[in-house]
Amino acid sequence: MRTLKWLSFAAALALSSAALAADPAPRYNVVELQAEAQREVPNDTLSASLYVELNDANPAALADAINKAVNDALRVAKEYKGVRVRSGGNQTYPVYSKAKLLQGWRGRAEIRIESKDFQAASGLIGKLQAGMQLGNLGFSVSPEARRQAENELIVEAVGAFKARAEIVRGALAGRSYKIQRLNLNSGHSGPSPRLAMARAAGAAEVAAPDLEGGVSQVNVTVAGAVEILD
C-alpha cells in the first residue's frame, strides 16, 4: 500500500513539474507595437476585355456569327506578339416578349487580353473595336514587381518597428528591449478597373486609345510585441 501511495505522489509531482515547465514565467513591460512602410509602384500590366453581342431568330445562325467574330479577333490578336489573349465567356440565351413569347436569341462572347506593352495593347484594342465593344480596362502591378517592392519594404517596415521599440524603451527608462512576437502583412491598392466607354461596332477605323497605367500603393505592416528590460 505504501508503494502505491509513493507512486501516486511521484506521478502527481511529475505532472506538477510538467505543468510548471509548460507555463512560461510571467512577463512584464510588454508593449504592443505596429509600424508600416509603403510606396507607390507603377502599374505595369494592362488587362482588358472586348465582347461581341448579337441577336438572331435562329440560334444556330447566331452562334455561327458570334464564333466567326471571336475567331477573327483571335487571328488579329496573334499579330501582336507582346499581348496575351484568351477566350472569355460565351453564352446564348432566349429573348421573350412581355407576353412571354419567344422572340429570338441573344448571344455574347468575349476575349480577354493582358500585356505589359501598353502601346501594343492600345493598337490591338483600337483594331478590335472596329467589330467589338470594349467592356472594361484596368491596370495593375505584376506579381514579380509587387514581390520586389514588398521585399524592399519589409526591411523598411522592420526598421521602423525597431525605431518605435527604441522610443518606447527610452520612454520607460529601460536598459534594452527584446522582441517577443513579430508578424508581417503585405497588401496593395490602386485605381479600380475603370469601365471604358464603348465605341460603336462596325466602324471602318477606330483610333487607338491613349493609355496611362497610373500607380498602385504597396504596403507592408509589421505588428508585434516587445518586452522592455530593466
Residue-range domain boundaries for the chain: 26-44+142-199+215-230, 45-140
Please indicate, yes or no, whether the overall pTM of this predicted structure exceeds 0.85. no
Closest CA to 137 of 146, 124, 153, 149: 124
What mean pLDDT is predicted for residues 196-216? 63
- Whether 26-44+142-199+215-230 shares its CATH topology with 45-140 is answered no
Residue 52 has a CB neighbour count (10 Å cut-off) of 23
**Cβ pair 57, 105 in contact under 8 A:** yes
CATH of 26-44+142-199+215-230 among 1.20.50, 3.40.50, 1.10.3470, 3.30.110: 3.30.110
| pLDDT at res. 204 | 53
What sign does the CA torsion over 79, 84, 86, 88 have? Answer: negative
| pLDDT at res. 26 | 66
If 0-12 CB within 10 Å is exposed, 13-18 middle and 19+ buried, where does residue 83 land?
buried
The mean-pLDDT minimum among 86-100, 116-130, 194-208 falls in 194-208
CATH of 45-140 among 3.50.50.60, 3.20.20.70, 3.10.450.50, 3.30.70.360: 3.30.70.360
Q: Does the pLDDT value for residue 192 go beyond 70?
A: no
What sign does the CA torsion over 71, 73, 76, 77 have? Answer: negative
What mean pLDDT is predicted for residues 179-188? 91
| pLDDT at res. 69 | 95
Q: How confident is the model at residue 162 (pLDDT cuts 50, 70, 90)?
A: very high
